[in-house]
Structure 1
Amino acid sequence: MHLFSGFQFRDWLLANDPALSRLRMASRVTLTIVLSFAILFAIQMLIVPLPTAAFGLGIVLSIEGGVAVRDKGNSRQLVTRLFGCAASLAVVGIAAGLEDRRFLSDLVFLVVIALASAGRVFGPRGFAIGMFAFTSYFMGSYFRPSLAELPDVAIGPVVSVFVGHLVRAVLLPDDWRRDLLRSLESVRGRINQILFKLATLAGSGHIGEADRQELRQLEDRLKEVVLMAETFIPRPPAGVFDGASDPAAELAIRLFDAHLAAESAIVVSFQSLPPFALVHAVIEADKAELAIYEGMAEAIKDEPQGETVRALLWLGEARQQLTQVIGEGQASGFAGIDAVKDTVQPEKIDFSFANPLLRSALQITLASALAMGFGLLLSRERWFWAVLASFLVFTNTNSRGDTAMKALSRSLGTVFGIAIGLVLATLISGEPYIAIPVAAVCIFLAFYFLQVSYAMMTFFISIVLCLVYGMTGVLTLDLLQLRIGETMIGAVAGTAVAFLVFPARTRGALDAALARWFQALDELLSAIGEGKSGFALIALSQKIDACYRDVTVAARPLGSSWSVVTRPGQIRQTLAIFLSCTYWARILAKSYAARADADELKRLIASDLALMKDAAPRGSTCFFIERKASRTTGRHLPLSREGARLGLEMIGSALERLYPSADVLPFAPGEAIARSKQG
């Protein structure tokens, strides 16, 4: 049987698009735009002529309805859409009423921007309504409908809101059971990717630094989808399962085991590559071949190859159990797992500038004012593009580094998108039956890539705009150059304000993420010291996992090419240390039980806590420490009863590596690993 016979297109798609969330978002946005446009066009042809603003608002609010509305539940989403529609109609009316007073209209636009940005403190609904209001005022100022046209203009937002709800609630609805199944399939797909890479390495018999880096990236990708899958598993209000008899608890354990087994296979493969035949047997679930290696594992248990064989056998078993869970889910739709009602209580809102959302609102308003001023100098008619760019570069960013990266992405996406769009629009000029489908495909691709690449999203949207300009007969090189110039102004304004006004330093965001990570690790170690075990420890280890993801996101700008402190080697090295520590924390959570040698474990816990006490206050300084490349050291895979002790020792060893020049350490460098090899 061919090695990759089970690796089908759907497996590949799920491995690269967990739960098909990107596909669903892109499909929703595209379908909403197409249906809204079709309905508005039918109204235009059969009932009443519509102003251009009605079409513009219908399309833009179709996008916002698919992207910005994030409430849980159809009823909540409908309420948010209706509030958003009301806000849209109100601000468009204001824009139309102030059309003859351009200076006042521009000032009111800044007020709308400030209120829309500040509305994010009210959570998902406030964010969505703010986006509806901002984009609607933008479109109202851009198309300049008259007061007499407002009743007809209102048809656009109303149609888009109800079509958007129809698409979201009926045609492409949310279904946590379906999403859980798809996310589990994505986990299996990413485990397959790890196995295929190990098979390639096993076939060559060599593993280099580039291969190690690729395996770490695959490990991170697996972690992402595991964290997603965990969010779909209903949990009790306290967040911890009462016992393994609960179907949801059993599923959570199997997911946890599959994740841990895959990571363990990577860890030991760095020391000793597995036999190719074994990896092939795991991929194909060849029971006869696996039985041979089970007997072999006992004979070579004290050799590095024995650890690798045991790790692959464990991964094969965990993968089979995961496949069984997926099969049960496909057959029953997880009917045995009950949904848990949302009991989260709203938090008290902080309306001071201590709230980063309000600081961000001030930044967005100032950046928009700067973009407006300089944009007006470039063009009295097209300055809105500058404001749009300055507003959007702050969306979903945590630091000034994030903002700068997003500004750069938007600028590059616009430049290259316009270049390609100009060529396409020229080639299919006068062919709307070709241009419209191409535009629809580009819209789909824009929102398919939105979650992974802001530059790609901007690239495809710029192509769509070129096609629209071409179909409406206003496409000129000067217009496209003007759009690039205005976008650059907005991007620069946003970046400048991010660095000068209430700057959220990249290291500051990283310090906060690291503080949460250390706190989560402290909670796990303290829980073990208090004698807790089972699901309580697993839940705490999953919290460490989530915090590690936040650390990687916060550290990303430090390794970007624009940064003056770019040290990608050191950043990757330090992240690898935190990844290692996170892995051993999960090993510890899985392996710990009440032990006869509790005093020894308490000593190790105290040692780890001492290391944390030394490292945590230093925050992100560890990312700028020069470290010598560590030599490859043998290690035991914790599949035996010593897993808890080894987990504690390896956590200590990883923490040592953060600051290897420390004067006093509970363990000498490398001692933990050495002790782990002793009987």
Structure 2
Amino acid sequence: MHLFSRFQFRDWLLANDPALSRLRMASRVTLTILLVFLILLAIEAFILPLPTAAFGLGIVLSIEGGVAVRDKGNARQLVTRLFGCAVSLVVVAIAAGLEDQRVLSDLVFLVIILLASAGRVFGPRGFAIGMFAFTSYFMGAYFQPPLAELPEVAIGPVVSVLVGHMVRAVLLPDDWRRDLLRSLESVSGRINQILFKLAALAASGDIGEADRQELRQLEDRLKEVVLMAETFIPRPSAGVFDGASNPAAELAIRLFDAHLAAESAIVLSFQSPPPFALVHAVIGADAAELKRYEGMIEASKDQPQGETVRALLWLGEARRQLTEAINRGGACGFSGVDAAKDTAQAQAIDFSLANPLLRSALQITLASAIAMGFGLLLSRERWFWAVLASFLVFTNTNSRGDTAMKALSRSLGTVFGIAMGLVLATLISGEPDIAIPVMAICIFLAFYFLQVSYATMTFFISIVLCLVYGMTGVLTLDLLKLRIGETVIGAAAGTAVAFVVFPARTRGALDAALARWFQALRELLGAIGEGKSGFELIALSQKIDACYRDVTVAARPLGSSWSVVTRPGQIRQTLAIFLSCTYWARVLARSYEAPPADDDQRRLITADLALVDDAASRGSACFFIKRKASRTAGRHLPVSREGARVGLEMVGSALERLYPQADTLPFASGEAIARSKQG
């Protein structure tokens, strides 16, 4: 029973954290902080006393080393850490030297912020070094170490860099083969979730709107982990496999088929729920029962139920083949799959204001200046919190809507975290044996949820700060109110600047994402028109998949409630259309085989390309059209015949739904589209 529970927990963990990447990052940060803190304590106890700034820098740079250093390869990571350490020591020395000239020190801080944020144009290394510089000057100005103590202060960053690299390279190293295996296991786990839901619906015999929405969410979650797994499969420099004999190519096909089969089972179950016995047989891999259903499908091949049965049988076979690939890979560690070669070429850096990274650097600096000014009105000693908030709300955002959402998340996370931290600090006051483990757990949880919820991360970090204040004896209600006030000032300053200075409109970001999606679809249709097939078409359809994910991210700030409401809103309805078109593009890519398309297919391709051009020219306007709740398209999945033809029809049908001529417009077939274009 204990063993079963352990495997259940692993399946749950993989289902929610594909490749265990979040678990690994949280473990790295937590372990690095603990080791650095213990080493610094040992140095203070047995070698020489250390200033508080050494501990502060060591802990903060442990966080940056675990989160900001994103280079590929241990050697590159070590170089970035060493550069970051050197920059850290320089800016701390500058902060210490300017301590007696506070106005000049504040101005220099703004210069550091400008340079640190502008450093992102140099890629991952520039981003990491910039974060090291910003946080180091922040800590130097906050702790105000005398110049005479700089040698002792430098011990903190040095220990942090060395320990951080040891944890990343030795104790918890990256391993793409292990990550590939875990991501494939996550794919299998999410397919199982879909099957369990289909089994429940088959037992009830009814699919309601809430059930449809849950299945769409499961479909989105499957897509998310499939996209992750695809990044771990090494590809040739051209991005397209030469043939299925390549072990990596075979693995890519198994993954592609399992994804497409799972989505097909969902699409057809909307039209006709599957037999419960069949879903149960697929889940249990019951070969005899599956064989019995195979013998029955010929009689019902033109019926909705028959197509659903075909889709489930296809999913059962694709799932079996994927499971075999996972088992073989787990047994040999994917030894037959060669590691990907880094063929990326350095690109010229754009130092003009046309580069959004440089515009963002100016935004961050101006927001920090505003936060600094208003923060100083509240406190001469604690205004750094306002600057910190204004700096961080711009990280990993691509529009003013994103920035506003992140600012709100930070403010709410701080408020609720301080409230909880105050309760915990009061309950365990004077109990460091309890407080320290609680802080370690909160640090782990903060960085485990960093990629999922910024508010949750801020919540746990605020709890840690409250416990630290409690242990050092400076925790007061006024101090906590001041922190909340400074955080709100910084968040408000960042939001205001995002909307006023070089505003990156949410619709602008969405227009750019849609342009990439339409271009990817255009490339797929063009390649089919040229008679291409096989891996080339599959690679193009995967590009559409990746672009769809970017569209969903860009659209989220337009209607942040779209993912939690029960009835479809405009944003979610439109995304469902793009999801449908993305799905049928994959059906098309998998089904089409050369020789070149016949005249009828050429007419369909021409019609679809015309629809693509028309919709692409309108950008994100489709997200603001009121529609009736969407219905399932009337064609059944061609799992056995005419796959390419029906794929072309359904792509055209989905594109038409972006701009319906009337609310009652039926879903036109590709043939109708072609005739309308001809007439």
Band of TM-score, shorter chain: over 0.9
Match of 1:300 in 2: 300
Deviations 1:533-589 (A, max 9, x none): 1000000000000000000000000112599xxx97010000000000000000000
1:656 CA drift (Å) = 0.2
Task: Please state whether the residue corresponding to 1:207 is helix, strand or coil.
Answer: coil
- Mapping 1:422-501, distance limit 5 Å: 422-501=422-501
Deviations 1:166-218 (A, max 9, x none): 00000000000000000000101111111111112112221111111111111
1:630 CA drift (Å) = 4.0
- Structure 1 window deviating more from structure 2 (620-629 vs 401-410): it is 620-629
Match of 2:669 in 1: 672
The yes-or-no answer on 1:77 pairing with 2:77 is yes
Q: 2:389 corresponds to which letter in structure 1? A: A
- Mapping 1:128-207, distance limit 5 Å: 128-207=128-207
Alpha-carbon contact 1:516-1:547 (below 8 Å) kept: yes
Match of 2:643 in 1: 643
1:8 CA drift (Å) = 1.9
Structure 1 spans left out of the alignment, 5+ residues: none
Match of 1:39 in 2: 39
1:671 CA drift (Å) = 2.8
Q: 2:216 corresponds to which letter in structure 1? A: R
Deviations 1:439-481 (A, max 9, x none): 0000000000000000000000000000100111111111001
1:594 CA drift (Å) = 2.2
Match of 1:86 in 2: 86
Match of 1:48 in 2: 48
Match of 1:58 in 2: 58
1:595 CA drift (Å) = 5.1
Match of 2:676 in 1: none
Match of 1:526 in 2: 526
Alpha-carbon contact 1:635-1:673 (below 8 Å) kept: no
- Structure 1 window deviating more from structure 2 (508-517 vs 306-315): it is 306-315
Match of 2:413 in 1: 413
Structure 2 spans left out of the alignment, 5+ residues: 674-679
Q: Distance in 2 between matches of 1:529 and 1:539?
A: 16
Match of 2:377 in 1: 377
TM-score, normalization: structure 2?
A: 0.96
1:294 CA drift (Å) = 1.4
1:137 CA drift (Å) = 0.4
* Cα separation, partners in 2 of 1:285 and 1:673, compared to 1, 3 Å: farther
1:670 CA drift (Å) = 2.2
Q: Distance in 2 between matches of 1:645 and 1:298?
A: 21
- Mapping 1:196-595, distance limit 5 Å: 196-560=196-560, 569-594=569-594
Instruction: After the TM superposition, list the runs of 4 or more consecutive aligned residues in structure 1 that deviate by more than 6 angstroms.
Output: 4-7, 673-676
* Cα separation, partners in 2 of 1:597 and 1:388, compared to 1, 3 Å: closer
Q: 2:488 corresponds to which letter in structure 1? A: M
How well do the aligned residues superpose, as a CA RMSD in angstroms?
1.8
Q: Distance in 2 between matches of 1:262 and 1:115?
A: 48
Alpha-carbon contact 2:529-2:602 (below 8 Å) kept: yes
Alpha-carbon contact 2:657-2:667 (below 8 Å) kept: no
Deviations 1:349-373 (A, max 9, x none): 0000000000000000000000000
Match of 1:11 in 2: 11
Deviations 1:75-106 (A, max 9, x none): 00000000000010000000000000000000
Deviations 1:106-155 (A, max 9, x none): 00000000000000000000000000000000001111101011000000
Q: Distance in 2 between matches of 1:43 and 1:317?
A: 60
- Mapping 1:119-130, distance limit 5 Å: 119-130=119-130
Q: 1:170 corresponds to which letter in structure 2? A: V
Alpha-carbon contact 1:653-1:669 (below 8 Å) kept: no
* Cα separation, partners in 2 of 1:76 and 1:6, compared to 1, 3 Å: closer
Match of 1:104 in 2: 104
Q: 1:237 corresponds to which letter in structure 2? A: S
Alpha-carbon contact 1:119-1:127 (below 8 Å) kept: yes
Q: Distance in 2 between matches of 1:386 and 1:36?
A: 27
Task: Please state whether the residue corresponding to 1:388 is helix, strand or coil.
Answer: helix
Deviations 1:616-645 (A, max 9, x none): 011000000111234445322121230000
Q: 1:206 corresponds to which letter in structure 2? A: D
Q: 1:148 corresponds to which letter in structure 2? A: A
Q: Distance in 1 between matches of 2:570 and 2:595?
A: 38
1:38 CA drift (Å) = 0.6
* Cα separation, partners in 2 of 1:568 and 1:301, compared to 1, 3 Å: closer
Alpha-carbon contact 1:558-1:568 (below 8 Å) kept: no
Q: Distance in 2 between matches of 1:5 and 1:492?
A: 46
Deviations 1:476-524 (A, max 9, x none): 1110010000000000000000000000000000000000000000000
Q: Distance in 1 between matches of 2:661 and 2:104?
A: 61
Alpha-carbon contact 1:439-1:467 (below 8 Å) kept: yes
Task: Please state whether the residue corresponding to 2:641 is helix, strand or coil.
Answer: coil
Q: Distance in 2 between matches of 1:220 and 1:177?
A: 25
Alpha-carbon contact 1:577-1:658 (below 8 Å) kept: yes
Q: Distance in 1 between matches of 2:20 and 2:401?
A: 29
Alpha-carbon contact 2:531-2:597 (below 8 Å) kept: no
TM-score, normalization: structure 1?
A: 0.96
Q: 2:669 corresponds to which letter in structure 1? A: A
Task: Please state whether the residue corresponding to 1:100 is helix, strand or coil.
Answer: coil
Task: Please state whether the residue corresponding to 2:271 is helix, strand or coil.
Answer: coil
Q: Distance in 1 between matches of 2:334 and 2:254?
A: 14
Q: Distance in 1 between matches of 2:303 and 2:638?
A: 14
Q: 2:206 corresponds to which letter in structure 1? A: H
* Cα separation, partners in 2 of 1:218 and 1:561, compared to 1, 3 Å: closer
Q: Distance in 2 between matches of 1:269 and 1:134?
A: 53
Q: Distance in 2 between matches of 1:289 and 1:262?
A: 19
Alpha-carbon contact 2:390-2:493 (below 8 Å) kept: yes
Alpha-carbon contact 2:54-2:157 (below 8 Å) kept: yes
Q: Distance in 1 between matches of 2:296 and 2:386?
A: 67
1:675 CA drift (Å) = 7.8
Q: Distance in 1 between matches of 2:595 and 2:6?
A: 43
Q: 1:90 corresponds to which letter in structure 2? A: V
Alpha-carbon contact 1:88-1:132 (below 8 Å) kept: yes
- Structure 1 window deviating more from structure 2 (72-81 vs 309-318): it is 309-318
Q: Distance in 2 between matches of 1:210 and 1:8?
A: 26
Q: Distance in 2 between matches of 1:342 and 1:42?
A: 41
Task: Please state whether the residue corresponding to 1:627 is helix, strand or coil.
Answer: coil
Alpha-carbon contact 2:274-2:308 (below 8 Å) kept: yes
Q: 2:655 corresponds to which letter in structure 1? A: L
1:227 CA drift (Å) = 0.6
Alpha-carbon contact 1:261-1:315 (below 8 Å) kept: yes
Alpha-carbon contact 1:656-1:669 (below 8 Å) kept: no
1:300 CA drift (Å) = 1.5
Q: Distance in 1 between matches of 2:523 and 2:186?
A: 30
Alpha-carbon contact 1:304-1:634 (below 8 Å) kept: no
Deviations 1:642-669 (A, max 9, x none): 0000000000000000000289xxxx84
Q: 1:269 corresponds to which letter in structure 2? A: S
* Cα separation, partners in 2 of 1:631 and 1:338, compared to 1, 3 Å: closer
